Chains A and B, each alone.
Chain A
């Protein structure tokens, strides 16, 4: 995380507890979420690191980011990048999670403002958006020649 801040000047990953408990420093290294505050930069050498800044590459928000806005799933916003990255990973692993699965998966990301009910809603909303987009892609391709994605 210090390397991201000092060398790359990106500030989405933030140190809060400094103990790998709160999840505000979450970044994704080779497809797995890690606590940036405990993850040595040397270990990331040669890996692909995705931060919240990378989610909206090309200027278009990721559906999880859009859902966090539409559901007002944050107050101060300090935990938000970590929450969003973790939610993204959840939906990649499990595109249709239950409430309990969302609660469990995100229990390593703390929100002191107490936006948990809205975050839960945002993850479900994003899951719907992603599902409908996937369907949207499948339908034309099936019509065009039966290629499924």
Chain B
């Protein structure tokens, strides 16, 4: 039996995916099912003076119309969310963004429900609104929420300090050393302000939830969610029910990228089905998905003091996160991206202030990187400016300041088992740095850039797994990990197979179903292989032990001599002493009967950071580090940037499936490539003017870089399953800055705002030449 870890196994569901038969909630139809269509606010901030649904209720074919007031009849306190309980299932006294759900129409025919939306009349008393994250953070800005509603579901968010009377709802800080003193001691001080816009996750399967009423059975939610266990807990809390009366299950997801995290449509679907007492499906359009969740726009002020020889002495970061109208997971973004915002550098004096700010825009959440791609844009773009102004090579500047194992990160947690140095050297080698580059022509200038990345794996979180062996010796894994496309079902099968000496193809991993699969925090933050992998290892160890104990008397061997091999228990060095799992099960339970059950769990350790200084001994379950190199050509007459090469180097600890790891890294890079080059949500007075794929440009095959390369670095993690660490976001983090730095290298002028559209680049070229374009 070959080792299962390290095999480049194709996704086990490959056949179903290429024949179109794979299961998505998108396809689910239930007998008697109604379709829900949502009436959304047309204004960004207003009191609801009147919501008149009478005409819609009597429209032919309409079964029911539900408003915020109707929700109160079954859920008296209908506010949900992973960090704050601030989002009403349907708007109550006021609406806080254009696109907020106000009412839902239920009908057997989705087109009937859609048409009835036109019969709903809402009178708004408009309120002053605020859209910019920095303006919203000022005293006297219009208040999006008069009252704050912090939640309590996640241990890492318990210590975030909500602020009242301000749109700043989380004010997270890190203090290390004495930045003021270090700035005075610095030879040069650099200060820049960077900006990133709101962008969309836009998974091709838009958000979808189907709910079935409870009655004597549990309330059942079929949902394209990345967090089934969280959804169950949150629905139980809202309804005041025990968790065991709520069942949440998923199928394969048609992408997620963070856009399907925590709770989205599930509370509205649950309310609808409970009021209608029929199954209800809410399936968003792509346009609706755009106003449901975004990635935070951000403004980042970064001030850095360096010595003349290029050592960073102090760094001060101030970050405003545009959270939109509801917190969603913004507080975790604020904290997680906050504490690595000084970058993968060894800096003695660091001051970080990271503010989660409410505005009258659609809510923002985590999108592949929990805010790190935004802060990375800042620290890696500034790194190149500093290096250039000091006359240093940008790679040498980074190596000189690099955070290495054994040294404290800004939070005080010691970096360990991380290949910061390895990924930097590898990207240099791949980019043939610092060999001279062909600089192109006057109108087609060429340049290259690198950027480094660091992100902390979220902690403390828990995964629990159950593994069973059936009477015929076949193995099933009950894991709450959601396969959003990353291939987790395959990798988890490999981990279980490795533990039981089976082929991964023989193992079945079932989809999350909270009636069967135990708790898992969710498929977020690159955590599944590490956390669920360890839980599965615990479970397979239990089964392995049981099998060996069962086999010892049968084979007349000591347990110490026995091991698992290719579906059998064998005695080492005794070729004849062997019994298959199937035969062994028969000796214990009878032929083809019985089940062996193993369970395992993993909860990462955590040291709650000090509230005033953010210092902690243990704030990362693992560190994700990577490096990206880019080569570009810039057309100086149009500002168009063409990426010739995009090289992604990531420390993955141990690639349990090198093929899936590589494709996940390049896929993550191409997602961020879109955010770097073209993607930007445009708001006009709070109205999104480019929702949907017709007006919001995501990369096509024609746009992708000429060459997309991935290099795996394996610095094993001491606690990881087989040495693995999370990597689902690693390939995403530093892409924008690497491309931006290549543009800087090509042109000698820097762009501090994303995306790098031709207009923005051309404006920078012309401003740099003293001939700025008119607005």
Contacts and interface: CB of A to CB of B under 8 A. Distances in A.
Interface of A: 5, 10-14, 16-19, 21-22, 24, 51-53, 55-56, 61, 65, 68-70, 72, 74-81, 84, 102-104, 106-120
Contact of B255 (A69, A76, A103, A106): A76
Contact of B204 (A10, A24, A72, A102): A24
Interface centre among A10, A103, A116 (most CB of B within 10 A): A116
Contacts of B703: 107
Interface of B: 10-11, 13-22, 24, 26-27, 202-206, 252-257, 285-287, 484-487, 659-660, 663-664, 666-671, 673, 692-694, 698-704, 708
Contact of B286 (A18, A56, A111): A18
A72 B17 contact: no
Contacts of A55: 19
Contacts of A77: 13, 16-18, 22, 252, 254, 485
A102 B702 CA distance: 9
A87 B763 CA distance: 39
Nearest to A9: B29
A55 to B, nearest CB: 8
A74 B252 CA distance: 13
B285 A18 contact: yes
Nearest to A18: B285
A69 B19 contact: no
Contact of B17 (A11, A17, A74, A110): A74
Contact of A12 (B19, B484, B667, B671): B19
A117 B205 contact: no
B702 A107 contact: yes
Given A103-B702, A112-B698, A75 B667 contact: yes
Contact of A78 (B13, B204, B708): B204
Nearest to B710: A117
B698 A69 contact: no
A106 B666 CA distance: 19
A112 B367 CA distance: 13
B202 A78 contact: no
Contacts of A118: 663
Given A16-B286, A69-B18, A117-B704, A75 B204 contact: no
Given A70-B10, A111-B701, 5 more contacts: A72-B663, A103-B701, A109-B700, A114-B667, A117-B704
Contacts of B486: 75
A75 B485 CA distance: 4
A110 B20 contact: no
A69 B27 contact: no
B146 to A, nearest CB: 37
Nearest to B706: A99
B20 A51 contact: yes
Interface centre among B20, B252, B698 (most CB of A within 10 A): B20
Interface centre among A16, A51, A115 (most CB of B within 10 A): A16
A114 B669 contact: yes
Contact of A75 (B16, B487, B702): B487
A59 B404 CA distance: 54
Contacts of A102: 701
Given A19-B694, A114-B667, A53 B485 contact: no
A105 to B, nearest CB: 9
A21 B693 CA distance: 7
B694 A21 contact: yes
A149 B673 CA distance: 46
Contacts of A52: 18-20
Contact of B20 (A19, A53, A106, A117): A53
A104 B702 CA distance: 6
A115 B20 contact: no
B21 A53 contact: yes
Nearest to B665: A114
A78 B254 CA distance: 5
A65 B27 contact: no
A24 B204 CA distance: 8
A80 B18 contact: yes
B663 A76 contact: no
Contact of B10 (A72, A115, A116): A72
A53 B17 CA distance: 11
Given A110-B700, A114-B669, A120-B701, A76 B286 contact: no
A74 B255 CA distance: 11
A21 B671 CA distance: 18
Interface centre among A12, A74, A113 (most CB of B within 10 A): A113
19 contacts: A14-B205, A17-B694, A19-B286, A24-B204, A72-B663, A75-B485, A77-B17, A77-B252, A78-B204, A78-B485, A80-B20, A81-B20, A107-B702, A107-B703, A112-B202, A112-B255, A112-B257, A118-B663, A119-B701
B663 A75 contact: yes
B693 to A, nearest CB: 4
Nearest to B673: A114
A52 B496 CA distance: 33
A117 B20 CA distance: 21
B731 to A, nearest CB: 9
B663 A110 contact: no
A8 to B, nearest CB: 12
Please name the 9 residue pairs, one residue from A and one from B, whose CB atoms are nearest each other, closest first.
A12-B20, A76-B485, A114-B670, A78-B254, A77-B17, A114-B667, A75-B485, A107-B702, A52-B20
A21 B697 CA distance: 11
B504 to A, nearest CB: 15
A77 B150 CA distance: 37
Nearest to A122: B18
A90 to B, nearest CB: 12
Given A72-B660, A116-B670, A22 B701 contact: no
Contacts of A11: 20-21, 24, 27
A114 B703 CA distance: 11
B18 A65 contact: yes
Contacts of A14: 24, 26-27, 204-205, 254
Contacts of B660: 72
A22 B20 contact: no
Interface centre among B254, B671, B694 (most CB of A within 10 A): B254
Nearest to A79: B204
